[in-house]
Chain A
Amino acid sequence: MRMKGKVHKYGGNVDTDVIIPARYLNTSDPAELASHCMEDIDADFVKKVRPGDIIVAGENFGCGSSREHAPIAIKASGISCVIAKTFARIFYRNAINIGLPILQCAQAVDGISAGDEVEVDTASGEIMNLTTGKSFRAMPFPEFMQRLIAAGGLVAYAREKVERGLGAPCREG
């Protein structure tokens, strides 16, 4: 999949509490969550973000809470892809499971500035900075994760397994 958009850039250790503060966790509605996305780190994010835009950040993106509301809020805000130096592990799983494209590439993070226009090919991992003309290549996903992504996320993967009779047998009563 190819995405193109303007970059919103953040530093290291962007935690899930600033991506979506706990005071908004009494809902799981994606649009509602998106309306508060990044509120405590960048109050203007919601006003600035346009469909297709890309978040670029430093190390350990999405650290902290396991709340899936964080990648859901980012995805529903219109962000097409997150590029970071590293991802916190639960955020990494959640993003793959719900189908939010993410790429890990330290060189790209250092070579992209806020406001740059960037194009990304998630299949090949190619990242093109259209503003500077520089290109980068992200680490490819392991095969199993590529299958998960291709299946459309974990729910589709699990549904396929259940349909093939590989789920737990349902007992009577």
Chain B
Amino acid sequence: MGQTITEKILAAHCGRKGVDTGELITAKLDLVLGNDITAPIAIREFERIGAGCVFDPHKIALVPDHSTPAKDIESAQQVKEMREFARKYGIAHFFEVGRAGIEHTLLPDQGLVLPGDAVIGADSHTCTYGALGAFSTGVGSTDLAAAMALGECWFRVPETIKFVYHGQLNKWVGGKDLILYTIGRIGVDGALYCSMEFAGEVIDRLPMADRFTMCNMAIEAGGKNGIIAADEITLEYVRPRAKRDFKLYKSDPDAKYKQVVEFDCSQIEPQVSFPHLPENARPLSQVGVVAVDQSVIGSCTNGRIEDLRIAAQILRGRKVHPNVRLIVFPATQEIYLQALKEGLLGIFVEAGGAVSTPTCGPCLGGHMGCLAEGERAIATTNRNFVGRMGHPKSEVYLAGPAVAAASAVLGRIGGPDELESTEVERR
């Protein structure tokens, strides 16, 4: 019987030829990750294990990105604990504010995750790296602690659901729309405990930025990981970044899938997920009139240079609606600098938007853009749960960068095409 990419990577990391779905295995890890929310607990638990040293100081990444630059004294303490731990154990990849960014964009960009790797991170969106053809999944702090000591983690080998995307993408439709549409179809637990494998001719042509966005949100369907077979597009991204060997895996033609779901992309419009679950996806044409107070463009889901270029293309020469606050946060310092060089940041500021330093802050209602009671945001982030971006009675609508940018100008949720037609009417 053939094997899926996920099964092959897991088998290779536990020294076996094959693994069976449902079995519990212990796999060696190529990288383990923690951030300033999850690492402090992991550090405490690590010390309780009493290992004396970490399994490999070059295979641990600690990224203070959630409450940074430190939003208050308590957060500063948490980052300090991480920093001191990194120094004590000689952790090679500790990223300080100013040389950092949002973990799930930063680590692949730094070449720290490569195709064929097995990675865990104490952050649910660790599934992002599946876009590289790696197995990566989110875990909790105690898992991180044990992994830092032992270099391994226990897994239940997941069944795989294959999602096949056919046809051509419509205008303004990207990876975010595909994944919101997919979650809308299967529900927030539609892939519970499963691997989500994305394939089909649309995926074959899809740029890396969009692939990262899709795998990033596998967790929002309950998935253990999202994964895309590495190909030429992957290699183009990976080659200049890789500092070690890596391995490409493909699912066998006779691999066993729990389910195969096929989509005709010609039917997929830009998507908007209504509060309070990512599964409440609607095509843009069926959104109706929804006024917004804030538009947030960034995060580990859509904070890449490609996302900023789309937003800038729409915002160039336009003004943010008087009733809207636009907050743009590039995912990493490198992307920030690139956006600066390309003149994108100038476009956002001239439009009347705020450009933030890289941080996870606004996405989880931590800082740098919380919502007040009754306020409503359109956001390129990944979750719209109750209170996710601030007050429990605020609302988050999820969309891609094109819709978020157009909505900032319109003052209500809408797409770039409406923007053009509105302007024609005004003339």
Contact = CB atoms under 8 A, between A and B. Distances in A.
What band does the interface of chain A fall in when counting residues whose beta carbon is under 8 Å from B? 35 or more
B334 to A, nearest CB: 25
Interface centre among B71, B140, B188 (most CB of A within 10 A): B140
Contacts of A77: none
B38 A67 contact: yes
B37 A17 contact: no
A17 B383 CA distance: 10
Contact of A17 (B123, B142, B156, B388): B388
Contact of A170 (B53, B154, B189): B53
A104 B149 CA distance: 30
A114 interface: no
Interface in B42-75: 44-45, 48-56, 66-67, 71-72, 74-75
A126 interface: no
Interface string A4-34: 0000000001010110011101111000000
B142 A40 contact: no
A132 B141 CA distance: 39
B230 to A, nearest CB: 24
Given A157-B146, A168-B56, A90 B139 contact: yes
Interface string A138-153: 0000101100100001
A90 B45 CA distance: 17
A25 B360 CA distance: 13
B72 A26 contact: yes
A73 to B, nearest CB: 12
Contacts of A65: 123-124, 364, 383
A155 B142 contact: yes
A68 B142 contact: yes
A168 B41 contact: no
Nearest to A71: B140
A162 B50 CA distance: 8
A24 B182 CA distance: 32
A89 B222 contact: yes
Interface centre among A41, A68, A159 (most CB of B within 10 A): A68
Nearest to A39: B392
B187 to A, nearest CB: 9
A106 B44 CA distance: 36
A13 to B, nearest CB: 6
Contacts of A41: 386
B192 A86 contact: yes
Contacts of B270: none
B56 A93 contact: no
Given A65-B124, A154-B146, A167-B51, A22 B365 contact: yes
B150 A21 contact: no
Interface in A36-57: 39-41
A66 B56 CA distance: 23
Contact of B142 (A13, A22, A153): A153
Interface in A65-103: 65-69, 71-72, 86, 88-90, 93-94, 97-98
Contacts of A28: 40-41, 44, 78
A35 B54 CA distance: 34
Contacts of A142: 24, 156
16 contacts: A17-B364, A21-B365, A22-B388, A23-B366, A26-B71, A40-B387, A63-B222, A66-B124, A67-B37, A68-B141, A68-B142, A97-B143, A154-B143, A155-B145, A162-B51, A171-B53
Given A65-B124, A144-B154, 4 more contacts: A26-B75, A68-B140, A86-B192, A89-B192
